[in-house]
A and B are shown apart, each in its own frame.
Chain A
Amino acid sequence: EAQVTQNPRYLITVTGKKLTVTCSQNMNHEYMSWYRQDPGLGLRQIYYSMNVEVTDKGDVPEGYKVSRKEKRNFPLILESPSPNQTSLYFCASSFLSGNSYNEQFFGPGTRLTVL
């Protein structure tokens, strides 16, 4: 089944404790992206990647890191989480046509709480 998977689905942690949220897709998509969603703010893009070893900042990259060492995986890293990073996080992927992306497929989401 074609899908985007995220782990963990739920995480409660404490300020300053490094964490990684994994994202994996089995559709051979070039483009992958991370979003956070907060009440009343819609989805905001954190980072995106057009291919292996190619990443770029979205609208709200501060406090996050990403890596794209393999085409299928795009982990989101919080080196020192803070309470304002408490949010619902979504990973997404899509094919690229030339330089542009197509329909994005989203993962199920990771609900993160930082105490």
Chain B
Amino acid sequence: LAKTTQPISMDSYEGQEVNITCSHNNIATNDYITWYQQFPSQGPRFIIQGYKTKVTNEVASLFIPADRKSSTLSLPRVSLSDTAVYYCLVVSSSSASKIIFGSGTRLSIRP
């Protein structure tokens, strides 16, 4: 499994767009990228998943460049309730091997 690297923490303000970048230099052809959100003392919650280019859902967008060595989670117009830890994972589409979460990015949103 490819190791991921994310910033330890980020700060932003309500109403801003927040972009969290994840590096995964050793991503394999069959791997895809998944992002989870975790609030204190709760289990992580799936946000978005993608293989290449751009994926968008009702809460976020995921941008993956052609070389797939990095990805960017974009949260539009954040609010205080978006304060959480965000995890980037690389998972294999061909085998359900062990999953590595990493330490995540602690996002703090200020009024």
Docked Cα-Cα span, A90 to B94, in Å, equals 25
Residue A68 lies at the interface, judged by CB distance under 8 Å to chain B: no
Give the residue name and chain of the A residue nearest to B6 (CB).
Answer: A42
Give the residue name and chain of the B residue nearest to A41 (CB).
Answer: B103
What is the size, in residues, of chain A's interface with B at 8 Å between Cβ atoms? 32
Bin the interface of chain B by size.
Answer: 20 to 34
CB distance from A65 to the nearest CB of B (A): 17
- Selected from B34, B42, B92, B103, the residue in CB contact (under 8 A) with A40 is B103
Residue B100 lies at the interface, judged by CB distance under 8 Å to chain A: yes
Docked Cα-Cα span, A107 to B49, in Å, equals 20
Question: Which residues from B are CB-within-8-Å of A31?
Answer: 96
Question: Which residues from B are CB-within-8-Å of A40?
Answer: 103
Interface residues of A (CB under 8 A from B): 4, 31, 33, 35, 40-45, 48, 50, 56-59, 88, 90, 92, 96, 98-101, 103-109, 111
